[in-house]
Chain A
Amino acid sequence: MDKSWNNKAWFLVLPVLLLVAFSAVIPLMTVVNYSVQDTFGNNQFFWAGTDWFSDVLSSARFHDALLRNLAFSAIILLIEVPLGIFIALNMPRKGLGVPFCLVFMSLPLLIPWNVVGTIWQVFGRVDIGLLGYTLNSIGIDYNYVSDPFDAWVTVIIMDVWHWTSLVVLLCYAGLVSIPDAYYQAAKIDGASRWSVFRFIQLPKMNRVLLIAVLLRFMDSFMIYTEPFVVTGGGPGNATTFLSIDLVKTAIGQFDVGPAAAMSLIYFLIILLLSWVFYTVMITNDAKG
């Protein structure tokens, strides 16, 4: 009888395991070690137990940054995923338009984070920025430096501009993999445009949408460079997300212990939410 499971194949995973150990596991272990100690530098550490975790859990600053981050991720997912699907559905599938659209959609993804931040920082300025100057010229009071709402709008539009392309490209890849026979069958049945989308295109895009939602959620929950360059976390703390707060604590204040505790809680939240997203979408995929 053939053996259906060959556990020796696991040895092939060893190189990746070693790479992940050096790039992720060892740094994570170090963070865990830091989170239960205090240091004043010079490689000298003092036992602090669970004090830093208690401090972070009862910190209003941490709660506020976490809520801001959750709100930011929810808003950009609600905008980028439907918008990405809509654009992908309307992109050409044949002809010269295909490479043009693909290159055009890829452009924002090729720009480094700090450059995107700088572009939008200048673009939104009231004195010299095209967006800021134009809005104020037509009577709209816009100033991302002093108004928290304007700062949020700027950071969200910037993220949508930068990352919707990723959702578009993933959805497009899912759409072009659907065989023509499905569309022909739908045409014979007299299916409406909505029915074709709901019962053919959406189920076929399920897997790429799972990747898109996971990537966008994790990326948006870890967002740092773009809002830091544009608003620096302000005005006040209006756009201080968890990562910005974490860097301020770790590098600005050199509170390595509290920063380590904060980053572990941050890591656990990302792990939990990613697992929930993944499980819900995989379960729906299996049912549907």
Chain B
Amino acid sequence: MDLSWMAWTGPTAIFFLVILMLVIGMGVWEYFVPGGSPRVGILRFETTRGDRLFVSLLGSAFIHLAWLGLVGPNLWWALALSVVYAVGVFRLV
């Protein structure tokens, strides 16, 4: 199957593989601990594990965009900040 029209690159393939691994990981987590672990965190509304992953990924996208717009094109620090942010979301939100 010719997928050249999709214009794949190494970095974008890794990006999507990481997202896929996260989704599979969440599926495995859900299998062993069903129910999504709903709780009310610092945002004062109920979130499940899936919600927390969504908030982490969406927030990370905006962290990268903000870094790109305000600091510069070196995004490794934005990635580190996003990981810290995601850990914070999973622990506190």
Binding site for B on A (CB under 8 A): 4-5, 7, 26, 29-30, 32-34, 36-37, 39, 43, 45, 47, 49-51, 53-54, 57-58, 265, 268, 271-272, 275, 279, 282-283, 286
Contact = CB atoms under 8 A, between A and B. Distances in A.
A50 B16 contact: no
A271 B73 contact: no
A3 to B, nearest CB: 9
Contacts of B7: 30, 33-34, 37, 39, 43, 45
A279 B15 CA distance: 27
Interface in B3-21: 4-9, 11-12, 15-16
13 contacts: A26-B6, A29-B16, A30-B5, A32-B15, A32-B16, A39-B7, A45-B9, A49-B73, A50-B73, A54-B69, A57-B68, A268-B62, A271-B58
Given A5-B35, A50-B75, A29 B6 contact: yes
A30 B6 contact: yes
Interface string B1-45: 000111111011001100000000000001100110000000011
Contacts of A7: 30-31, 34
B65 interface: yes
B8 to A, nearest CB: 6
A7 B68 CA distance: 41
A51 B35 CA distance: 42
Given A53-B65, A58-B69, A268-B61, 17 more contacts: A5-B34, A7-B31, A26-B6, A30-B7, A32-B12, A32-B16, A33-B8, A33-B9, A36-B9, A45-B7, A50-B68, A53-B68, A57-B68, A272-B58, A283-B44, A286-B45, A286-B46
A279 B40 CA distance: 13
A contact face: mostly helix, strand, loop, or mixed: helix
Interface of B: 4-9, 11-12, 15-16, 30-31, 34-35, 44-46, 54, 58, 61-62, 65, 68-69, 73, 75
A96 to B, nearest CB: 45
Contacts of A32: 12, 15-16
Contacts of A37: 7, 9
Given A29-B6, A36-B11, A57 B34 contact: no
A210 to B, nearest CB: 14
Contacts of B65: 53, 57, 265, 268
Given A7-B31, A54-B69, A268 B9 contact: no
Contacts of B9: 33, 36-37, 45, 47
A33 to B, nearest CB: 4
A37 B13 CA distance: 14
A271 B15 CA distance: 19
Contact of B62 (A5, A58, A272): A272
